[in-house]
Amino acid sequence: MIRRWALPAVLLIVIVGALGFSARDIGRPPTAEERAQSIASRVKCPVCNGLSVQQSEAGLARTIYAEILRQVQSGRSDAQVTQYIVDTYGREQLTRPDASGIGSIVWIAPVVLVVLSLAGLAAAFRRWRPSGSRTPSDADRALVQRALRREGGS
């Protein structure tokens, strides 16, 4: 029994180990450009349709990106730069809703939905729990054998 499960267990450990190895730090803090790109990817380009400032080549998007980069380079934190965008262009310019306030609903509601449906399923399985004997009788086995023979013969 244990020997048979050894391989899957080893494989699982190797997978988890490799995943952990791949998640290691890159060994240096992110550059200003990387931080600015990441902030800009969450800011809607005001003159485009459905693109972020980071994706857009529009003049205004490049100007906004330059300002984000300048602020990051001048030592402001990501939160401060994001707040700057909220102060100038408004909250609706950020495409990632906050985890607090009314925006948090979009983060919480799906989790609640999944938990509720899993709970519902669990309750259903409890209700469905087989009652009485489910071990096959000899008649069942005979039926199966006959069916198998028919299968094999055809």
Partner 1 sequence: MKRWGAPRIAAVSVGLIMVLLIGVLATRRNAMERQRSSPLVGRVAPEVAGPDLLNGGRARLSDGAGKWILVNFFASWCVPCAKEHPELVKFAAAHQASGEVSIFAVVFEDQPKGVKAFFAKRGGGWPVVDEPRAAVDYGVTGVPESFLIAPNGVVVGKLTGGVRLASLETTLARFKAAYAAANASTTVAP
Partner 2 sequence: MTAQFGIFGVLIGFAACVLGASGMAVGVVRQRPTITLFAMKFVPYVLIGSVVAVAAMETALLRHDFSLAYVAKNNALSTPLAYTIAGMWSALEGSILLWGLILSLYITIVWRRFKARRTDPLVAWALIVMLAVAAFFFALMLGPANPFKTLAFPPLDGTGPNPLLQNHILMAFHPPILYTGYVGFTVPFAFAVAALATGRLGEGWLLETRRWTLIAWGALTLGIVLGAWWSYEVLGWGGFWGWDPVENASFLPWLTGTAYIHSVLVQERRGMLRVWNLSLVCATFSLTILGTFLTRSGVIQSVHAFSDSNIGPWLLTFFAVIVAVSVGLIGWRGDRLRSPGAIDSPLSREGGFLANNVLFGAFAFVILLGTVFPLVVEAWNGDQLSIGEPYFNSMARPIGVAMLFLMAVAPALPWRKASGELLRTRLQWPMVAATAVVVACAAAGLRGAWTLLTFALGAFAGAAALRQLVLGVRNARRQGRSALAGFIGRANGGMVVHIGVVLVAVAIAASGSYGSSARLVLKPGESAMVSGHKIEFLGIKDQTLAGGRTRTVARIRTDGDRIDEPAITRFSAAGTPIGTPSVRTGLRYDLYFTLAKLPIVDGGAAVIGVKVQPMIVWLWVGGLIMAIGTALAIVPGRRTRRPTDPSTVGSSDDDRLLVGAGAGR
What CA–CA distance (Å, rounded) separates 146 from 152? 10
Instruction: Give residues 69-98 in contact with partner 2 (rule: CB under 8 A).
Output: 90-97
- Contact residue for partner 1 among 9, 47, 105, 106 (CB under 8 A): 47
Q: Which does 20 bind (CB under 5 to 8 A by kind): partner 2, partner 1, none?
A: partner 2
Q: Which does 82 bind (CB under 5 to 8 A by kind): partner 2, partner 1, none?
A: none
State which residue, 75 or 151, has the beta carbon closest to partner 2.
151
43: helix, strand or coil: strand
Copy the structure tokens of residue 52: 């972020």
Buried b (16+ CB within 10 A) or exposed e, 18-55: eeeeeeeeeeeeeebeebbbebbebbbbeeeeeebbbe
Report phi then psi at 94, rounded to 5.
-90, 130
State which residue, 9 or 119, has the beta carbon closest to partner 1.
119
Interface with partner 1 includes 70 (CB under 8 A)?
yes
Interface with partner 1 includes 67 (CB under 8 A)?
yes
Interface positions with partner 1 (CB under 8 A): 46-47, 59-60, 63-64, 66-67, 70, 86-92
